Structures are given as C-alpha cells and as structure tokens.
Structure 1
Amino acid sequence: MPIRSGDTSEKAGTVFASATEAAEYVGDHCLSAAPLGPVGLEIEAHCYDTADPLRRPGWDELTAVIGEVPELPGGSRITVEPGGAVELSGPPARDVMTAIEAMSTDRATLRAAFARHGLGLVLLGADPLRRPRRVNPGSRYSAMETFFSASGTAAAGAFMMTSTASIQVNVEAGPRSGWAQRVRLAHALGPTMIAVSANSPMLGGRFSGWCSSRQWIWAELDEARCGPVLGADGDDPATDWARYALRAPVMLVPGADAVPVTNWVPFADWADGRAVLGGRRPSSRDLDYHLTTLFPPVRPRGFLEIRYLDSVSDALWPAIAFTLVTLLDDPVAADIAAEATEPVATAWDRAARVGLGDRHLHTAAVRCVAAAAERAPAALTESMQRLLRSVEQGRCPADDFADRAVEYGIGPAVRQLARGET
C-alpha cells in the first residue's frame, strides 16, 4: 500500500503536447518530501491445495475463501495475483516494527482461514512445482499476456505473472536534499539483499541453476521495463525516472478494458505524436497508468517501492524487512551499508545466480545484517539472530528449500510448507 502518492489531481486528464511535458510531469510527481519512518509492507504467498499441491486453486474458489476471511486486525488488503498467489498489502505504519507486527497478525489470520479450506499459503520466491497458468480473469492480465507474446517474452511473462512472489517494502523518499543519496543506496543494496533473501531455486519442477529464479525471470523481460532505474551512480533521481519512463514501451492503453500494444512504442513517441495509440494523444491519466506497467527493482511512487526481495518464510521475513528499512533509515547503518555494498552495487545477476556463494556479496551481507542486528529490538531477536546465523554461514533461504526438496521430493516439500510444517 502506498505510504504517500504524488498529488496528480491538478493535472488529471491533461493532454500532453510533447514528450518534454510528459517528462516534466513524471519528474514533478515521482517523489514527495517527507520525514523518514513510515513503512508499508506487502507479502505475496503461493496458494496450494494441501492434499494435492499440483492442483492450482481457481478464481471462484479463491474469492469464496477470501470472502469468509474475518476482518484483518492489522488492516491489510487481500488481493489475488494472476496465478492465484494471495497478497496482503498492509496500510502505512508509523515505523517498521509496527508494520511487521501488524502484518504478522494479518498473516496468521489469513493462514488460519485458508487452512480451514485445506489450502496453504507458501512463502517462496517462485512456484517450484506447477507450470504457469493464469486464474485471475482481469482484462489487464489478459492484455499483458498479449503484450508479452508480441514482444517475444511470452514464457518469461507467464512465469512472472503466475509463478513469482515477493516481499515489497515501501519507505518514504525523505527530505528532498537527500533524495539522490537515498535512491542510490536503495539501488546499491539491491544485489546484497537479493542474495540475502534468495528463495527460489526451483521452477516448474526442476532446479533452475539460480538461487533467485524470481529475479532471473524478471531479468528475462525487457530491460527498458524491468531493469534498474539507476546504476551505482545517479544524482538526479527524478530526471532518471522520467527518462526511464518515457523510453519504456507502452504496454497497455487504458480504457473500458486495457488494450495491449503489440509493437514497440516508447511513451515519448506517443507524447510527441510520432505514434498514435487509441486514436489520441496521451493524457496524464495514460501516463499514470503507464507507470504502473513499469517494474524496476526500485520504483518511485511518491515514496520508494522496493521490489527486489523474494518471498521468504514467516521466520525470516520480519528480520529481512527490518534489515532493509534500517539500512535505509538509520543514518549510521546507512553509511555502513553504502560502504559495504559499493563493490557489489551492480551485481544483480550474480546475486540472483549464486546468492551468498559469491564472497564479495557474502562480505557485504554479513556487514549489513550485523549492522541491522545491533539495532533490532528485543521482539525481533529470534528472527534477527536466525537471519544473521544463516548469512554468516553463507546460506540463503534457497539452500534450505533445496535441502528439503532433495530429502523429501519437491511435491512433499511444498506440501509440508503448505501445512505449516517447519
């Protein structure tokens, strides 16, 4: 859930005369100055039939179960991803521990409700067992399938929409004077935190050769839509995001139903009149919608939406969320993180492939997680110490699931997790 959105109401529906106008609009609204502290969390979980983990619960079944879920005490919103993964989106909380505690209670309530119907919610970065299949009938997702097919990324698009799950952390952009440093750090932390949270060693019933198959899937989609907005440098995040957004191809034209664009049309070409989509020039509403179809690992939305963490177990996600927020919001920890991650700030693919098996990523991860552990409250001790031990040993969550799958088989391993067995 958004912490804060840029106020676009004054320009709602404004038709752009040029790409320059569109770029100015993006730059003006991408970040909002605000004090650090508030945090929003979103967690996706794969839904399995505990008796038959190969079966993918359908749309009617999922919506019926969700309809019986009691009001969630932490105020999270429940949604269903294209492949049937169930997402909890927590409201903005005043600080990271409040967000963690609220999400933990909502997770427990949701798990219990699904368990009464023989369904389990499994926190893995990618579905290790089932082939991709869409169950959410939304027109947006149908149109996305058409776009991915036309762009030559049908397989990666199908896996991305129906087989991946993440933990998303939303933090404030902070004071305007610190935007460049904060956005650079959010990017620089990416490879290290991918290695720490990597939890998807299998895909479609086999080992993929990647610790984070989820990150690999995203990398297989077009770089213009899913690659990092910044590299290790970048001193003007608003301009960088505007450039990124206007260069990215338009995926869908909004209307009564989303209409896929089956040829490569950068938004700048639409705004400049070099291409015509939907029989018109684009408006600010079209641009706002276009921004929702861009999936970089760090996405400016007034706040910073951090999207590069695999979904991990209930034992670990509180520590991982706390670590990431602490490394961004605590000034001393942020300095430690900036220094520790500098050598690996752009090692996105290496982090996804080998995780903490890379010695440079391992060194950075130990320093970062240790810095967060020193600042963790007592309520987080167990989760934090478990994470720190694993990182010190050079193990990411993918190693634990891989060991379980080898020992018991993939199906039984998934069934154990769906039933809540540790």
Structure 2
Amino acid sequence: MTFAMTSEVDDAHPPAADAELTSANEAHRYVADNCLNDGPVGQVGLELEAHCFDLTDPMRRPGWDEINEIIAGIPTLPGGGAITVEPGGAVELSGPPMDGPVPAVLGMQADRAALRGAFAQAGLGLVLLGADPLRPAKRVNPGARYQAMETFFKASQTGAAGAAMMTSTASIQINLDAGPRESWADRVRLAHALGPTMIAIAANSPLLGGKFAGWRSARQHVWSQLDSARCGPILGASGDDPVSDWARYALKAPVMLVNTADVIPVTTWVPFADWADGRVLLGDRRPTNADLDYHLTTLFPPVRPRRWLEIRYLDSIPDTVWPAVVFTLVTLLDDPVAADIAAEATESVATAWDRAAQIGLGDRRLADAAVRCVQAAAERVPAELEESMQRLVRSVEKGRCPADDFSDRVVKHGIAPAVTELALGES
C-alpha cells in the first residue's frame, strides 16, 4: 500500500470522461468500497507545514512566484519528500511512506533541514506554529481550487473562518495504514478518541492575526467554526462501522465546486447525495466517479479515510518535540498493548475537542490522559528519538504544551521578534 505524497489536490483539473452516477446508493457503494485498504499496519507517512516569513520584515507575506522560484532551485530532497505551497504561502513537506515512525521522522528531519537552508539563503524562514500569529489572512496561491473554496465559504457564512483555515493555519499530519479489516472499527474509533488528548499535548497556536486568541490551539478553534458536515468527526453514534459512516458523511456533505475546465464554485447547499440522485444538476449534469473522488478531497474531518488513515488534528509543532509526538501517536495506534492503554486513558475525554483546544492540559482529565499516553510511548521509544521524547514527557508532566512556550516568548519579546527568532531557528 502506498500513501499519497501530498495531502490535498493542489489545483482543480477537469476529470477525464467518465460515466455519470445513477444514484446516491451507487455513490455510497463507491465510497465504501474504496475508503480503507485491508492489510497489516506499520507504514508511516508525514506531512509537515510551516509558515513562510521574511527574516527582515515578518509582517510581509512572501508571494507565490517568490516561494516557487526558491522551490524550483532545490535539488531532490535527501528523505525523498515532495514540496508544495498552501493557499497562504505555507510550505508543506510530504514524505514518502516509511516502515515505521523512526525512518519517517529521520527522513522528514533531513528534508526539513535542506528546505530551511534553501529558504534561509533567500532571506526567508519556515516557522512551525499551528496558526500565523502575526499577519492577517491572505491567499497567495492563485489556483482555481482555492478561489472556488473562498467563494463557497463566503456563501456559507463562514468566510472569515474559511480564509483563516486556508491561509493562516498549519499542521503536522500523520498517515497510517488502515490495518486489518476486522480491526477497522477499533482503530478508527481510537484515532478519534485520541484527538482531544493529542490536541492538548501538541497545541501550538495561542495567537492568530496579531493577538492572543484565548485558545491554546487557535487552529483547532478555526476548524471548529467551519461546518461540521465538512470538518467534523466522521463517526456515527457507535463507531462500529467506519466505512458506512464515511460514506454517509461524504454524501451528506455539501458540494464545494464542480471540477470542470472553468471550476464552478457552488454557492448553495447541495449535499452530494442530491447531485447523485439528480435532485440538483450541477454543471447541467449528474456527477461521475471522478467528481466524487474530487469531492472527497474537499472534506476535512480530523481523521480522514484515504485508503489509509490521515490524522489531521495536530498543530504544527517545534522541531524539538514533533518527532516525539509522531512516535507517541503512531505507537498508541499501532502497538496493541499501548493501544489498550490509550483507549482506557482517553475514554472520559474522547469527545472533548473544544476543551482541549481552549485550555489544553489545564483540564485535569486531559492532563491525566496525556501523562498516561506519553509515558506508554516513552517506555517503547528507540534511542534515535529518546531526547525528543524526554522533552515531551517533561512538558506534559508539567502541564505545558508548545503554546505555553511560545506565549512566554511573545510576552517577553513581542510578537514580531518572537516570530523572527523562530524563523532564524532560535530555540
């Protein structure tokens, strides 16, 4: 099984000719049949997003051509990763699937070092924060996909949150095998249950757009302001059938755009099921399987089935601790004993998404769950990641997350100097 090298479609491209779907039931079967791959666990793919700042003028947002000119001059990365640019100019590294978390982490570290060096030579820095703490939201990616997304969010009364999501947030995403079919329900349920605890551990966006947001993870808060039909958790009440849950979720979600040569944004609420059933015709036709595949790329739940599992709920976090956070989450899902510990530890906080984002480890139950989870991972950490893990364990046991460290830096030096320090690589 192979993970994709990038997390999203970079731009809209019209699909090849394909037969139109005849009903929502046909669409449901298509999604259900293609959402998860049956097989062993073990592969890990990482995607790391970093905000791009001018080292001499952190308020300036580097332009699309400027960023891509630098990328064009970068040779093949040592870890085999691919480089893409997010709508607001954040730079994303997408690593290839590796056998286990250690090779994935080491490959990403090598690629990030090469990327940072290339950008530093051009006077730019790549900062790992969950949200842009300084600049207002602004799109620099001219792609038709993102123009259509802007139009959709404005029409659905979530324009500000949509703009912030696209241009001011950054994450570290972890891709994992779906695992054996008989374990899908437990595995997907645990991936969701871990969400609030891992958000509290990794929260790293206390500021947004030049001011303190009142949330340790302003990134998660932004996502929570978007419609739950597109960005909420996919699981039904029981979580016993994630395949059907995902298919229902996908068909209920509104269509964002029709992916034709002209890219047509959809400004009314049209569930994909209505398009497939012919209740509404978009682009004067019913959808094809290619339209359905593209629709799935416009859905952003915290755990997204893509034949594998894409874990999307973590803020972008500092180089000192993201390796340990990656190892922790992978271990808690892939190691059967650690998974049992995590399931028990997170049971009481499995749905505390907002509380985790707002006060993080200040919540006693989340703090207790976090300590148990990182300690279970620390007992299994290999030598290559021991230093990062020790640092993470110390922080969690003190009830601190990366947002607390960045907040302290901002209070001491100011927002712009704090950002510049991070852009220069100062720990």
- Whether the aligned pair in 2 keeps the contact of 1:4 and 1:303 (CA below 8 Å) is no
Q: Does 1:120 align with 2:163?
A: no
Residue in structure 2 matching 1:385, options 370, 387, 390 = 390
- Whether the aligned pair in 2 keeps the contact of 1:184 and 1:233 (CA below 8 Å) is no
SS at match of 2:29: helix
Cα distance in 2 between the residues matched to 1:118 and 1:362:
40
- Whether the aligned pair in 2 keeps the contact of 1:140 and 1:257 (CA below 8 Å) is no
Residue in structure 2 matching 1:333, options 338, 361, 376 = 338
Where does structure 1 lack aligned partners over 5 or more consecutive residues?
6-10
How many residues end up aligned between the 2 structures? 417
Give 2:280's aligned amino acid.
A
Where does structure 2 lack aligned partners over 5 or more consecutive residues?
6-15
Q: C-alpha offsets along residues 21-62 of structure 1, whole Å, 9 cap, x if unaligned?
A: 100110010001121100100000000001010000001110
Give the Å deviation of 1:256.
1.4
Q: Does 1:85 align with 2:95?
A: no
Q: State the match for 1:303 in structure 2.
A: 308
Q: Does 1:60 align with 2:65?
A: yes
Give 1:338's aligned amino acid.
A
Give the Å deviation of 1:67.
1.1
Q: Does 1:209 align with 2:214?
A: yes
Give the Å deviation of 1:12.
8.5
- Whether the aligned pair in 2 keeps the contact of 1:4 and 1:32 (CA below 8 Å) is no
Q: State the match for 2:167 in structure 1.
A: 162
Cα distance in 2 between the residues matched to 1:333 and 1:257:
49
Give 1:183's aligned amino acid.
V
Q: State the match for 1:240 in structure 2.
A: 245
Give 1:3's aligned amino acid.
F
RMSD (CA atoms): 1.4
Give the Å deviation of 1:214.
0.3
Change (3 A) 1:290 1:124: same
- Whether the aligned pair in 2 keeps the contact of 1:125 and 1:311 (CA below 8 Å) is yes
Q: State the match for 2:357 in structure 1.
A: 352
Give 1:189's aligned amino acid.
L
- Whether the aligned pair in 1 keeps the contact of 2:128 and 2:316 (CA below 8 Å) is yes
SS at match of 1:308: coil
Q: TM-score under structure 2 normalisation?
A: 0.96
Q: State the match for 1:130 in structure 2.
A: 135
SS at match of 1:299: strand
SS at match of 1:120: strand
Percent identity reads 71
Q: C-alpha offsets along residues 97-117 of structure 1, whole Å, 9 cap, x if unaligned?
A: 110000000000000000001
Q: Does 1:3 align with 2:8?
A: no
Q: State the match for 2:285 in structure 1.
A: 280
SS at match of 2:314: strand
Q: TM-score under structure 1 normalisation?
A: 0.97
Cα distance in 2 between the residues matched to 1:75 and 1:93:
10
Cα distance in 2 between the residues matched to 1:111 and 1:26:
39
Cα distance in 1 between the residues matched to 2:283 and 2:196:
39
- Whether the aligned pair in 1 keeps the contact of 2:158 and 2:225 (CA below 8 Å) is yes
- Whether the aligned pair in 1 keeps the contact of 2:258 and 2:282 (CA below 8 Å) is yes
Residue in structure 2 matching 1:223, options 212, 215, 228 = 228
Q: State the match for 1:140 in structure 2.
A: 145
Q: State the match for 2:78 in structure 1.
A: 73
Q: State the match for 1:192 in structure 2.
A: 197
